[in-house]
Structure 1
């Protein structure tokens, strides 16, 4: 049946692929008839609400994913990749001593505690300058 309730020709039925059925677990096992309706449903509110209930953002990465388990696995992989690119101050924040040597935060604080670096101030070379703190002269 067409949108107007009248029967559509068989060739048009085949052309639009209305004989194919696609199920989406995320939408509550709803069945979509035809490839076009199936592809369109990823942008519709029913699919978006299903993804939101799972705690997963509805992005282009999840197109063609209809299984709840596959969506969760893909989301875990994406979160791992994002965690690698996340700025980690303990590894990436750099400090410079008076002699011009540059150290990461962990090494710098270890050397200060051991008394191997004697400094009156430290300058932070980081992405977020407001995270830097000036230290007064330490006595060894």
Structure 2
């Protein structure tokens, strides 16, 4: 049985299985949702499915663009056993949810 992943940005659409879920970030439904939020669909937002989280991250990125400070929670990269790269915050969030 496939694991269900919901994406709030996609209007709470369900994706079945990790591969479909990971792929959906580059697909039209997610891109449209991000566009509606006024957020660029860059790799910074990969794995983010919560509107609140995406908006907060976008605000942090915009605030940071003036000050090129190293932000380990956003920029330090972690790799899971499948070779997917995540920032520290996303990695720890996924670990906490038991997804990796």
TM-score bin, normalised by smaller chain: 0.5 to 0.7
2:87 is equivalent to residue 81 of structure 1: no
SS at match of 1:56: coil
2:47 is equivalent to residue 64 of structure 1: yes
2:17 is equivalent to residue 42 of structure 1: no
Q: Where does residue 51 of structure 1 map in the other structure?
A: 34
Q: How many residues align?
A: 68
Aligned partners of 2:66, 2:54: CA distance in 1, in Å? 18
SS at match of 2:9: coil
Aligned partners of 1:82, 1:48: CA distance in 2, in Å? 22
Pick 1 or 2: higher relative contact order, CA cutoff 8 A, min separation 6: 2
Aligned residues: CA RMSD: 1.0
SS at match of 1:43: coil
SS at match of 2:48: coil
1:20-42 CA-to-partner distances (Å, cap 9, x unmatched) read: 00000000000000000000000
2:2 is equivalent to residue 19 of structure 1: yes
Following TM superposition, the consecutive aligned residue runs of length 4 or more in structure 1 with deviations greater than 2 angstroms are none
Aligned partners of 2:2, 2:26: CA distance in 1, in Å? 22
Aligned partners of 1:53, 1:68: CA distance in 2, in Å? 11
SS at match of 1:84: coil
